[in-house]
């Protein structure tokens, strides 16, 4: 498909966006096909990075975008995570993470006096390792504290302006940080009553006694804002849009929840209901919102959050957008073993969902011209689809899931993608493309298959060797003797009607690989094509789609150059439902300097030019 044919085929598909509830936001960004990259900052590094990707590193990424025909950078959340390092469970939905600061770029500091210490820190925490060593945060904070003290209380006027303008969230945040230092191993619910209930006299006394430390945390946030705004100006000059990620929920042990306790339902926790994949449902733990109280204060918490984000971003991602319409909540006292089984939707009355979501989205749009994009995966109620359509908020069409499930499971063609969507081949919560192809396609999930056997009264252990060969990463691959459902029925030794659950779970796996190769245009009967060619065609198909945006995980772009072919399973950013060092720590196999010199850059640019996105 040539660029001319793309333009001819698409015609005026996107112009109606300008007449939507987000018409002003679309007008600001510009209604046109775009390609972009999804990247976590902690995965990046340059020769100037100290231990972890730093905000100024985005400039090199922006340069790479220009070389490859990309005009969107989608970022994972960059909020202050304390020392838990889980971006979607942050200590603040306003404050940025201080470890992303570059010490050489601090304003109002004699950086030369700290050159040796910065160099020592860089030696101790070299960039480019396979995983981030999060010990870098404590080490950086020590250095930053010395740099702050060296200012001798003399700060630029801009810092004072920042404090005044951001008082809504900055005072609560800095007090919270000082109290976390005072009570390092205790959540705010375990603090002394006067701190827990925010007794004003007690807080005033704390502010007098800890004025320097409070100022330090505010100063760090100002330095973050300064470095980030410089990146935004650089991106604007290069015509690259920055998309921020605003987490839908916030940690129970956060400045937001402590300060605005009446904005949250502290007797409940958020989660997800049971479904075909997770029979017990999920218990995330973050508290649900008390929307009635937020509404009574003019949605100040929502509006201020979006207004601050607009200083740095041109677009923003609404995480778990269906939660704005209805959120699965569980009693806080419910045993953990129950997971998400004993929950209910909030609001409980389904007739309220549509207006509930519409109102919150309207309030989010009020203070900003940033264009929202929605993470609309999972079970999406019809009312959410309707309202997102009214607003022309792009959802997500994930290539490996975007199929005609009701009629055989064929992969949807590029022209079947929603125009108001973002086409992706992977997300940060799933295996990167090469891992999906090598380890998931044509296999079944061991846990789910085992549950299906239990439901049918079948001993899974007795069947396992007969049915399956290789098993890796919780995925079961069929033995050569099991090529279709007829073989499966014979091997199990039951009537098909008795094992419908097992058959429905397995049926697609026998032909999934062939269906995807058909979708990519590979002829049947030929040898399996090289993995790099499969990657290339998958990227091309996403870019050819009718989706207004095509934004791919940086890992998948790099796969075009042969990266992530060996240990691709562990290259993923996050393994949902798990906590540990395997999450939020993976580092790219190339520096940003090398990224800008890769041979695949021209190939990527040609794809985006040919599909009308460059």
**Do residues 482 and 514 lie in contact, with contact meaning Cβ atoms separated by under 8 Å?**
no
Q: Give Cα separations from 215 to 94, 168, 254, 304, 528 (angstroms).
A: 17, 15, 19, 21, 61
Residue 374: phi, psi to the nearest 5?
-115, 135
Q: Residue 386 has which token pair?
A: 């309707």
Distance, CA of 364 to CA of 537 (rounded, Å): 38
Q: What is the mean pLDDT of residues 205-212?
A: 97
**DSSP category for residue 76:** P
Angle, vertex CA 292, rays to CA 287 and CA 297, nearest 5: 105
Residues 454-464: tens digit of each pLDDT: 999 999 999 99
Angle, vertex CA 603, rays to CA 411 and CA 434, nearest 5: 45
Q: Give Cα separations from 592 to 7, 57, 61, 559 (angstroms).
A: 33, 8, 7, 16
Per-residue pLDDT at 576: 83
Angle, vertex CA 396, rays to CA 392 and CA 401, nearest 5: 145
Distance, CA of 289 to CA of 268 (rounded, Å): 10
Q: Hey, CA dihedral for 579, 319, 74, 563, is it positive or negative?
A: positive
**Do residues 321 and 374 lie in contact, with contact meaning Cβ atoms separated by under 8 Å?**
yes
Distance, CA of 417 to CA of 166 (rounded, Å): 41
Distance, CA of 41 to CA of 55 (rounded, Å): 8
Q: Residue 444 has which token pair?
A: 């079944």
Per-residue pLDDT at 567: 81
3-state secondary structure of 198: coil
Please report, for the chain, the start and end positions of each structural domain, with discontinuous segments joined by +.
437-529
Per-residue pLDDT at 1: 44
Query: In angstroms, what is the C-alpha Rg of the chain?
Result: 25
Tell me the average pLDDT of the chain: 94
Q: Give Cα separations from 137 to 52, 60, 132 (angstroms).
A: 9, 23, 11
**Do residues 505 and 454 lie in contact, with contact meaning Cβ atoms separated by under 8 Å?**
no
The percent of residues in the chain predicted with pLDDT above 90, rounded, is 87
Q: What is the mean pLDDT of residues 578-605?
A: 95
Residue 544, H or E segment? helix 531-544
Confidence at 577, pLDDT banded by 50, 70, 90: confident
**Do residues 383 and 327 lie in contact, with contact meaning Cβ atoms separated by under 8 Å?**
no
Per-residue pLDDT at 406: 87
Per-residue pLDDT at 565: 87
**Do residues 493 and 461 lie in contact, with contact meaning Cβ atoms separated by under 8 Å?**
no
Closest CA to 393 of 26, 12, 27, 28: 26
Distance, CA of 430 to CA of 572 (rounded, Å): 7
Residues 510-522: tens digit of each pLDDT: 999 999 999 999 9
Q: Residue 338 has which token pair?
A: 């129950």
Distance, CA of 536 to CA of 551 (rounded, Å): 15
**Do residues 514 and 484 lie in contact, with contact meaning Cβ atoms separated by under 8 Å?**
no
Residues 55-98: tens digit of each pLDDT: 999 999 999 999 999 999 999 999 999 998 999 889 999 999 99
């Amino acid at each position: 498909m040539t660029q001319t044919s793309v333009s001819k085929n698409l015609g005026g598909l996107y112009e109606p966006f300008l007449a939507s509830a987000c018409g002003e936001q679309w007008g600001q960004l510009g209604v046109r096909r775009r390609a972009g990259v999804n990247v976590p900052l902690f995965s990046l590094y340059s020769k100037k990075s100290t231990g972890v990707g730093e905000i100024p590193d985005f400039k090199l990424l922006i340069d790479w975008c220009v070389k490859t025909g990309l005009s969107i950078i989608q970022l994972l959340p960059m909020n202050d995570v304390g020392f838990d390092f889980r971006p979607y469970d942050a200590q603040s939905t306003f404050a940025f993470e201080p470890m992303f600061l570059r010490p050489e770029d601090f304003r109002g500091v004699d950086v030369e006096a700290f050159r040796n210490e910065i160099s020592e820190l860089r030696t101790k925490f070299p960039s480019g390792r396979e995983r981030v060593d999060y010990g870098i945060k404590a080490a950086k904070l020590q250095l930053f504290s010395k740099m702050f003290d060296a200012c001798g209380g003399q700060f630029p006027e801009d810092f004072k302006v920042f404090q005044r303008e951001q008082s809504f969230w900055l005072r609560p945040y800095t007090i919270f940080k000082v109290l976390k230092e005072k009570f390092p191993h205790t959540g705010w619910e375990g603090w002394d009553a006067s701190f827990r209930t925010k007794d004003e006299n007690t807080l005033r006394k704390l502010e007098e006694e800890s004025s320097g430390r409070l100022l330090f945390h505010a100063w760090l946030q100002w330095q973050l804002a300064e470095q980030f705004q410089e990146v935004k100006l650089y991106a604007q000059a290069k015509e690259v849009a920055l998309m921020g990620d605003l987490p839908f929920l916030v940690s129970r042990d956060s400045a937001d929840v402590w300060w605005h306790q009446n904005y949250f339902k502290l007797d409940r926790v958020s989660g997800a209901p049971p479904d075909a994949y997770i029979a017990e449902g999920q218990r995330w733990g973050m508290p649900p919102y008390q929307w009635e109280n937020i509404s009574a204060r003019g949605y100040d918490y929502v509006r201020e959050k979006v207004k601050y984000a607009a200083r740095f971003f041109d677009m923003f991602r609404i995480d778990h957008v269906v939660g704005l319409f209805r959120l699965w909540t569980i009693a806080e006292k419910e045993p953990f073993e129950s997971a998400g089984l004993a929950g209910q939707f909030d609001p409980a009355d389904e007739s309220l969902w549509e207006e509930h979501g519409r109102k919150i989205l309207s309030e989010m749009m009020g203070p900003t011209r940033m264009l929202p994009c929605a993470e609309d995966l999972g079970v999406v109620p019809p009312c959410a689809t309707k309202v997102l359509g009214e607003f022309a908020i792009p959802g997500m069409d994930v290539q490996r899931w975007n199929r005609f499930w009701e009629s055989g499971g064929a992969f949807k063609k590029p022209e079947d993608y929603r125009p108001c969507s973002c086409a992706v081949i992977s997300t940060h919560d799933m295996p990167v493309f090469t891992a999906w192809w090598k380890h998931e396609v044509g296999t079944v999930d061991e846990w789910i298959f085992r549950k299906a056997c239990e439901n049918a009264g079948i001993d899974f252990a007795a069947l396992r060797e007969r049915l399956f060969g290789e098993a890796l990463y919780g995925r079961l691959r069929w033995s050569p003797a099991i090529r279709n459902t007829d073989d499966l029925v014979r091997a199990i030794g039951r009537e098909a009607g008795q094992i419908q659950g097992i058959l429905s779970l397995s049926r697609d796996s026998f032909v999934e690989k062939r269906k995807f190769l058909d979708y990519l245009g590979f002829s049947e009967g030929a040898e399996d094509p090289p993995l790099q060619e499969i990657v290339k065609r998958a990227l091309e198909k996403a870019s050819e789609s009718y989706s207004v945006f095509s934004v791919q995980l940086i890992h998948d772009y790099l796969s075009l150059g042969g990266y992530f072919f060996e240990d691709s399973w562990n290259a993923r950013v996050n393994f949902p439902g798990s906590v540990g060092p395997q999450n939020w720590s993976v580092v790219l196999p190339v520096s940003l300097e090398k990224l800008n010199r890769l041979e695949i850059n021209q190939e990527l640019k040609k794809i985006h030019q040919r599909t009308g996105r460059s």
